[in-house]
Amino acid sequence: MPSRLAQRMIGGKPLIEWLIRRLGEAHVDGVMVVLPEDADTNALLPLIPSDTPVHISRKQDSLGRLADAIREYQPRGVVRIPVENPFVDPALIDRLLTNAAMFEKCDYVAYRCENGSAAAASPVGLFAEWYRAKAILKADEIVEDASERENVSAAIAAQPDWFPQHLLPVPSQLEGADVRLSVIDEEDWENALVIVDAMRCHDLAWQDVVRFIRETPHLRQRMETMNQVG
């Protein structure tokens, strides 16, 4: 699904290009696309902006592919964004980067919901996670469970003794059950198109998106119902 989702059009652009441009608004050193070696990747490559590095890995899981890219490009830290989160917010990413710089002994910086759950795993779809590069390499060596290797945040976050963490509170405006911006199924995609078409803007701040949802009763109700279903 991720590669095919990345090819779909939103705001006049393929989703992969939309997301790359959006991430470029954050204070990151650069944006890279990490992909598996498969047929869907071949179809996606022409849609990726030519100035964006692409790492194609033969590894069979997300953790292995990310570690592959880190070994080649040798960054000190990485912000990981799944393509299913097209509305991930640059300002919230910048807050991660600021805290990562402040807490140099931490290997993992992320947002946590009021109930203690990982915000990046929620359907809100606005949150990224920051990882110290050496932590990803260590996890690639020691994590064997297949489900954890496919879910990078689980591989790191589940081992606080190995990987020191710093967790940030989710903004209070995002603690409700009426925001769902992750694209998990076709109805989520339709909701994303409604938002982008109505707001007619690429650099959508999370506050504006949430305000639009809450001022659009049918959209708000639909998202709340979908969150209750799961």
Cα 222 to Cα 218: distance, rounded to the nearest angstrom: 6
Strands 77-80 and 108-112: unpaired
pLDDT, tens only, 25-48: 999 999 999 999 987 888 999 999
Phi/psi at 126 (nearest 5 deg)? -110, -5
pLDDT of residue 202: 67
Q: Measure CA of the first residue to CA of the last residue in the chain; give whole Å.
A: 18
Q: Could you tell me the residue ranges of all domains in the chain? A: 2-229
Phi/psi at 129 (nearest 5 deg)? -135, 145
Please check whether residue 42 is in contact with residue 6, taking contact to mean a CB–CB distance below 8 angstroms.
no
Q: Is the pLDDT at 49 greater than 70, yes or no?
A: yes
pLDDT, tens only, 61-80: 999 999 999 999 999 999 99
pLDDT of residue 176: 80
Lowest mean pLDDT among 11-15, 115-119, 186-190: 115-119
| High-pLDDT (> 90) share of the chain, % | 83
Burial of 65 (0-12, 13-18, 19+ CB in 10 A): buried
Element spanning 92, H or E: helix 90-102
Cα 6 to Cα 83: distance, rounded to the nearest angstrom: 6
pLDDT, tens only, 162-212: 999 999 999 999 988 899 999 999 999 999 999 999 998 767 899 999 999
Q: Is the pLDDT at 230 greater than 70, yes or no?
A: no
CATH of domain 2-229: 3.90.550.10
The confidence band for 150, taking pLDDT boundaries of 50, 70 and 90, is very high
The confidence band for 3, taking pLDDT boundaries of 50, 70 and 90, is confident
What's the one-letter identity of residue 31?
V
**pTM passes above 0.95:** no
Cα 85 to Cα 181: distance, rounded to the nearest angstrom: 7
Place of tokens 């959508």: 204
